[in-house]
Amino acid sequence: LKKFKWKGKGLTRTSSMGRKGVSYAEKQVRMQAYFHETKQVYSLKQLERKLPKAKGIVSQSVKDVLQSLVDEEKVDFDKIGSGNFFWSFPSKASQKRKNLISSLESEIGKKKRKLDQLQQDKQKASMGRDDTDSRRKKLQKYKDLQDMIAKVDVELSKFAASDPKTIEKKQKAIKCCWTNANRWIDNVFQILTFAKKKRPDLKDKDILKYMQLPEELDYLPDPKHGI
């Protein structure tokens, strides 16, 4: 097998093609390094011809690796005429790294300021909350008052039935039920009148029995005020 040499970052490495494959990530690194070292613009065909010898990247994988670098914005490209041309200059990569570092530093600064604010808020909130005898007495008094309020609420609930507002609501509900019930009873009497006109031989009790109603059916008396 034919051996070849490639240079990268001051190192010279001898590789034997066919014995050990190059990982995809390593191909990306080698290809971008080739752009940075040569500082030239290439077509796809030129890269497929040059990269196998220069960086040990087989021509069949050049297009796929190149596309991944374009997708990751590590390599620029433009269409000129009927062909696509590719390039990647160290200055742009360096600027991107600087921009990324600047962005990360800005984000870290925001997080630190937020952390400082939270620590200050925590200190303010903890002021006056030391476990002292005076604080324990105040907390116990507060608990006693809560217990007292709960007992008063229980006692008040026992008198809820006698509350004027509660009585008024019940009276209105009873009056409404009384009105509705008498309305239905009135409807029954109208049915009796209509039926006897059609069948004079029928008696009220027979019709009421058929309707499963008591013979002594009558209007309900006006409910008394009170419960």
The pLDDT value recorded for residue 18 is 43
DSSP label at residue 21: P
Per-residue pLDDT tens over the stretch 89-142: 887 766 676 677 778 888 888 888 888 888 887 777 766 666 778 778 888 888
The pLDDT value recorded for residue 127 is 67
Least confident of 32-46, 50-64, 201-215: 201-215
Which amino acid is it at 142? Y
Which amino acid is it at 37? E
Q: Tokens in use for 123?
A: 């200190």
The pLDDT value recorded for residue 198 is 87
Q: Which residues pair with 134 in a beta bridge?
A: none
The pLDDT value recorded for residue 161 is 66
Give the span between the Cα atoms of 111 and 97, in whole angstroms: 21
Per-residue pLDDT tens over the stretch 5-32: 444 443 344 444 444 678 999 999 999 9
pLDDT bucket at 149, cuts 50 / 70 / 90: confident
Helices (H), the chain: 24-38, 44-55, 59-71, 90-126, 133-158, 164-198, 204-210
Give the span between the Cα atoms of 74 and 67, in whole angstroms: 10
What would the mean pLDDT of 140-155 be, rounded to a whole number? 84
| Higher-scoring residue by pLDDT: 43, 153 | 43
Per-residue pLDDT tens over the stretch 67-101: 999 998 889 988 888 888 999 888 776 667 667 77
Give the span between the Cα atoms of 38 and 43, in whole angstroms: 14
Q: Give percent of the chain above pLDDT 90.
A: 21
The pLDDT value recorded for residue 128 is 63
The pLDDT value recorded for residue 58 is 92
> What sign results for the dihedral spanned by CA atoms 175, 179, 181, 185?
positive
CB burial of 99-120 (b: ≥16 within 10 Å; e: otherwise) equals eeeeeeeeeeeeeeeeeeeeee
